[in-house]
Amino acid sequence: MATPSVPWWRDAVMYQVYLRSFRDGNGDGVGDLRGARAGLPYLATLGVDGLWLSPCFPSPQHDHGYDVADYCAVDPLFGELDDVDRLLADAHALGLKVILDVVPNHCSTEHPRFREAVLAGPGSVARERFHFADGHGADGELPPNNWRAMFGGPAWTRIQEADGRPGQWYLHMFTPHQPDWNWRNPEVANHFDDVLRFWLDRGVDGFRIDVAVGLFKHPALPDSPDPAADEEARDAVNPLAWNQPEVHQVWRRWRAICDMYTASDGRERTLVGEVAVPTPADQARYLRPDELHQAFYFDLLHTPWDASAFRQRIGAAMRDIASTGAPVTWVLNNHDQQRTVTRYSRGAVLGEKPDADRGTARARAAALLMLALPGSAYLYQGEELGLPEVTDLPPEVLTDPIVTATGEPDRGRDGCRVPLPWSGTQAPFGFSDAPPERSWLPQPGWFARYTVQRLRGDGGSCWHLYRDALQLRRSLSPLHDPGLHWLPSPPEVVAFARGGKFVCAVNFSDAQVTAPVCGKPVLSSLPCDDGKLAANSAAWWLVDNPPHACGQCPPSHETVDLTVTWKGLGD
Ligand code: GLC
């Protein structure tokens, strides 16, 4: 949707293609690059600006590709290098950007550098590229410190040395299959420079950076003050393992590389970081003009369905991130989180029974809200279909390493990763030519109600809502304005204006309310009577006069001007 003077990434809507579940092009039951390429016209029709491709690199797949054994090649499971080139060419011909996933915090135990390190022995140069340390205790039988891994269990695993005796320990902040790189070793930084150049030379438009608050650890690797809290939270909490000041040097270095490519051919590249930090102001530090272009704003994703919580989180992002000149990158779904339809189906009262229709209504409303906000947005595949989470996968099919590490199926992420339903009335719903039992995760029969084919044929479907919203987002000039103005509204409604001519209002309550402006909306997530906003719905209006100037609406109050000021953050 970017206008020519604005770099595309500042307000792009990107679509996350979770490769193994998007579309299977070779009939083995796992989505792949050929399938993704076949799906590109679909994305162009939907109206997104581009796609983020989850990892396609050689990997033993212990964490579904986030355990990388070679950063500059393609796993045969997904295709070959030529398939990336073809996908890039086709995407660019359709006007779609493509960003790849890069995983710099850790690799796979099958990465040649790690295997070399294990063989090379204590004190070797090869071990310096990772965090190897002697254990405590008489025989080194205790881990070097008390750190806990993100997916549960200790963050250290002891290896067997070449002589067969138990030896040193290595650090892994995720599974034991994912050793953390030691970024204090300059060779590691050099290696990743080469990785970026390798893919930039092939034409990618940027990178999504996995665990961008990781990389550096406290140099002394001291004990964490609260290992139980570190393990409990899914976000980066251990203050000694995450968010170290040195990581900013890396983002400056990567930004310089991207800027060099942009200067040479005029094509803007983006770096979008997975930056889960305690506050929006902390996140803004990753978005200084010489660091990352973007970072996912997870605060909105973690917000329960509550008007004041949404207002507060949006306001904080505008105040602490947008006001520095960096765009906010909104996100409601991804491959690590329960889908919105299911998440929002729970009532506000603890213990209230989940209600699927209410969840669907709220997810549609949240989508309109997100797409009306200034900045960029990332959609997760299936979101545009209003796909609910699959919450009843049989335990024996679960593949998420979190389930293995914690023994708690409810904490797993398989339910949002079930292959997409494209067409037809039974599994595999056009996802694959293979028989349904070969799909890497089984699709439930009720996916028949959510196929692309079916929803595209239904003008009131979620798919049409997303497509209409994306089209309007592009064509309505007030939506190119970088700021927003809060409008006065009852406590259960969030309402704001943009560019003086556009109004978005969301009703978070279970009852119809009076709309903040008169007239028929240009788009609404549920049918709207004139002057009304249905329960759990959102609407967009174009207004000739500033809101509340028509004389019939509730009286106007002072609005809050949050227009972007480009003041920057300094060092
Ligand atoms: C990121 C990814 C997640 C992965 C983890 C470890 O959070 O989004 O899927 O498991 O990093 O690489």
Residue-level pLDDT, tens digit, the chain, 571 residues: 555 579 999 999 999 999 999 999 999 999 999 999 999 999 999 999 999 999 999 999 999 999 999 999 999 999 999 999 999 999 999 999 999 999 999 999 999 999 999 999 999 999 999 999 999 999 999 999 999 999 889 999 999 999 999 999 999 999 999 999 999 999 999 999 999 999 999 999 999 999 999 999 999 999 999 998 888 776 668 999 999 999 999 999 999 999 999 999 999 999 999 999 999 999 999 999 999 999 999 999 999 999 999 999 999 999 999 999 999 999 999 999 999 999 999 876 666 677 889 999 999 999 999 999 999 999 999 999 999 999 999 999 999 999 988 888 888 999 999 999 999 999 999 999 999 999 999 999 999 999 999 999 999 999 999 999 999 999 999 999 999 999 999 999 999 999 999 999 999 999 999 999 888 999 999 998 888 999 999 999 999 865 553 444 444 333 333 333 222 333 3
Long-range interactions of 487-494: CB distance < 8 A, separation 24+: 487/516, 487/547, 487/548, 487/559, 488/516, 488/548, 488/554, 488/555, 488/556, 488/557, 488/559, 489/516, 491/307, 491/308, 492/307, 493/307, 493/533, 494/307, 494/310, 494/311, 494/314, 494/369
Q: What is the rounded CA–CA span in Å between residue 223 and residue 75?
A: 37
In short, whether 66's Cβ falls inside 6 Å of ligand 1 is yes
In short, whether 211's Cβ falls inside 6 Å of ligand 1 is yes
Q: Are 440 and 24 in contact (CB under 8 A)?
A: no
**Active site includes 274?**
yes
Structure-block tokens of residue 194: 């080469």
Q: For atom 2 of ligand 1, which residue has the closest CA?
A: 210
In short, whether 336's Cβ falls inside 6 Å of ligand 1 is yes
In short, whether 67's Cβ falls inside 6 Å of ligand 1 is no
Q: What is the rounded CA–CA span in Å between residue 272 and residue 210?
A: 9
Which residues make up the CATH 3.20.20.80 domain(s) of the chain?
8-105+185-469
Give the DSSP letter of residue 214.
-
Closest ligand 1 atom to Cα of 401: 10
Rounded to the nearest whole angstrom, what is the distance from the C-alpha of residue 66 to the centroid of ligand 1? 6
Which residues make up the CATH 2.60.40.1180 domain(s) of the chain?
482-548
Q: For atom 9 of ligand 1, which residue has the closest CA?
A: 336
Q: For atom 5 of ligand 1, which residue has the closest CA?
A: 66
Nearest to 340 by CA among 320, 373, 310: 310
Structure-block tokens of residue 74: 């393609």
Rounded to the nearest whole angstrom, what is the distance from the C-alpha of residue 336 to the centroid of ligand 1? 7
Q: What is the rounded CA–CA span in Å between residue 378 and residue 383?
A: 10
In short, whether 389's Cβ falls inside 6 Å of ligand 1 is no
Predicted pLDDT at 57 = 98
Closest ligand 1 atom to Cα of 402: 10
Q: Are 128 and 214 in contact (CB under 8 A)?
A: no
Predicted pLDDT at 410 = 84
- Beta-sheet strands, E only, within 145-254: 156-160, 166-171, 206-209
Where b means 16+ CB within 10 Å and e means fewer, 462-486 reads bbebbbbbbebbbebeebbbbbbbb
Sheet containing strand 493-498, strands side by side: 485-486, 493-498, 502-507, 537-542, 523-524
In short, whether 242's Cβ falls inside 6 Å of ligand 1 is no
Rounded to the nearest whole angstrom, what is the distance from the C-alpha of residue 60 to the centroid of ligand 1? 15
As a whole number of Å, the CA-based R_g of the chain is 24
Q: Are 180 and 173 in contact (CB under 8 A)?
A: yes
Catalytically annotated residue among 49, 274, 299, 414: 274
Closest ligand 1 atom to Cα of 105: 12
Query: 545 — phi, psi (to 5°)?
Result: -105, 160
Predicted pLDDT at 358 = 95
In short, whether 80's Cβ falls inside 6 Å of ligand 1 is no
Choose one of 61, 62, 63 to mutate for the ligand 1 pocket test, by most ligand atoms within 8 angstroms of C-beta: 63
CATH topology of domain 112-171: Oligo-1,6-glucosidase; domain 2 (3.90.400)
Nearest to 555 by CA among 517, 528, 519: 517
Q: For atom 6 of ligand 1, which residue has the closest CA?
A: 66
3-state SS string for 445-506: HHHHHHCHHHHHCCCCCHHHHHHHHHHHHHHCHHHHCCCCEECCCCCCEEEEEECCCEEEEE
Residues with Cβ < 8 Å from 503, sequence gap 6 or more? 487, 495, 496, 497, 516, 517, 540, 541, 542, 543, 547
Q: Are 243 and 223 in contact (CB under 8 A)?
A: no
CB atoms within 10 A of CB 383: 24
Predicted pLDDT at 563 = 35
Architecture of domain 482-548: Sandwich (2.60)
Q: Name the maximum alpha-carbon separation found in the chain.
A: 86
Q: For atom 3 of ligand 1, which residue has the closest CA?
A: 336
In short, whether 75's Cβ falls inside 6 Å of ligand 1 is no
- Determine how β-strand 502-507 pairs with β-strand 493-498: antiparallel
Predicted pLDDT at 279 = 94
CA dihedral 546, 551, 557, 560 (to 10 degrees): -10
Catalytically annotated residue among 210, 230, 320, 389: 210
Closest ligand 1 atom to Cα of 151: 10
pTM score of the predicted model:
0.95
**Size of the chain in residues:** 571
In short, whether 378's Cβ falls inside 6 Å of ligand 1 is no
In short, whether 193's Cβ falls inside 6 Å of ligand 1 is no
Q: Are 87 and 98 in contact (CB under 8 A)?
A: yes
Q: What is the rounded CA–CA span in Å between residue 343 and residue 345?
A: 6
Beta bridge partners of 231: none
**Active site includes 291?**
no
- Check if CATH label 3.30.365.10 holds for domain 8-105+185-469: no
For the chain, give percent helix, strand, coil, nearest 5.
Answer: 35, 15, 55
Q: Which amino acid is at 356?
A: A
Which residues make up the CATH 3.90.400.10 domain(s) of the chain?
112-171
In short, whether 174's Cβ falls inside 6 Å of ligand 1 is yes
Beta bridge partners of 502: 498, 542
Q: Which amino acid is at 416?
A: C
Choose one of 211, 333, 380 to mutate for the ligand 1 pocket test, by most ligand atoms within 8 angstroms of C-beta: 211
Q: What is the rounded CA–CA span in Å between residue 126 and residue 120?
A: 6
In short, whether 390's Cβ falls inside 6 Å of ligand 1 is no
Rounded to the nearest whole angstrom, what is the distance from the C-alpha of residue 274 to the centroid of ligand 1? 9
Predicted pLDDT at 491 = 96
Give the H or E element holding residue 443: none
Predicted pLDDT at 546 = 54
